[in-house]
Amino acid sequence: MKIKGIAFDIDGTLYHNRQMYILSTTSFVANPKLAYHFSKARKTIRTYEKIENFRKTQAGIIAQTMKKDPEQIYKLVEIRLYKKWVRAFRFLRPYRGVRKLVVDLKARGYKLGVLSDFPPQKKLTYLNLEGFWDAAFSSEEVEYLKPRPEPFLELAKRMELKPEEILYVGNSYKYDIIGASSVGMKTAYLSKKESVPPADIVFSSYEQLAEKLSVFLDD
């Protein structure tokens, strides 16, 4: 089956992860303990069955491990982590060739999607990648994190395609490639390493992805 849509992870896929680490340092350095427990909670949540009210549940897990009041932790996470991160991200620059590929695919009539574990909207604006997407959302909205199949199935639904008609591009083997292939999507794995586990496409630059994609595309 030929591909009718291409979807992307954001962090580490549309821009270099290094930028995120540098930019988020301000909020991490200011709140190292909170950030540590936040990361730990995300790992726990990845194994969860459906949870009601994602952000509140997440705050509850953090509060438990920090032995703090859940309501207070919820507010802290919202302000110090989510809001601060978003502000820091205005300096993001996409990988070379990303915009060109996205513009080209859009012009050729392919559907485009973005699925990230974090809210994507502001990042797409800062990356100068706004207005291309048939679906752009966070797995938090579905109340699951990758590599759970639910966010990927929701992506297919929002792109109005079958999972097999979508090629998902990501930089995390564990979360992106395993998650997307588990629902039947084709996968493109961004990795600079010499030897990597299998994906339908392995690429290290967007010029290379554009070239390798042609086998899967119809036109």
Least CB distance from residue 175 to Mg ion, whole Å?
7
Least CB distance from residue 9 to Mg ion, whole Å?
4
Residue nearer to Mg ion on the CB measure, 10 or 105: 10
Least CB distance from residue 109 to Mg ion, whole Å?
27
Distance CA 56, CA 169 (A): 30
Residue nearer to Mg ion on the CB measure, 4 or 148: 148
Question: Distance of alpha carbon 142 from its chain centroid, rounded?
Answer: 13
Residue 179 makes CB contacts below 8 A (sequence gap 6+) with 146, 147, 148, 149, 151, 152
Residue nearer to Mg ion on the CB measure, 82 or 173: 173
Least CB distance from residue 172 to Mg ion, whole Å?
5
Residue nearer to Mg ion on the CB measure, 28 or 175: 175
Distance CA 198, CA 177 (A): 9
Residues making contact with Mg ion (CB under 5 A): 9, 11-12, 171-172
Residue nearer to Mg ion on the CB measure, 74 or 189: 189
H-type alpha helices, 89-148? 98-107, 121-126, 139-142
CA-nearest of 194, 57, 54, 185 to 117 is 54
Separation of first and last alpha carbons in the chain: 14
- Tokens 């591009």 belong to 169
- Tokens 């084709």 belong to 186
Least CB distance from residue 20 to Mg ion, whole Å?
9
Least CB distance from residue 201 to Mg ion, whole Å?
16
Structure letter (DSSP) for residue 215: G
- Helix or strand holding residue 32 (H, E): helix 32-45
Residue nearer to Mg ion on the CB measure, 74 or 89: 89
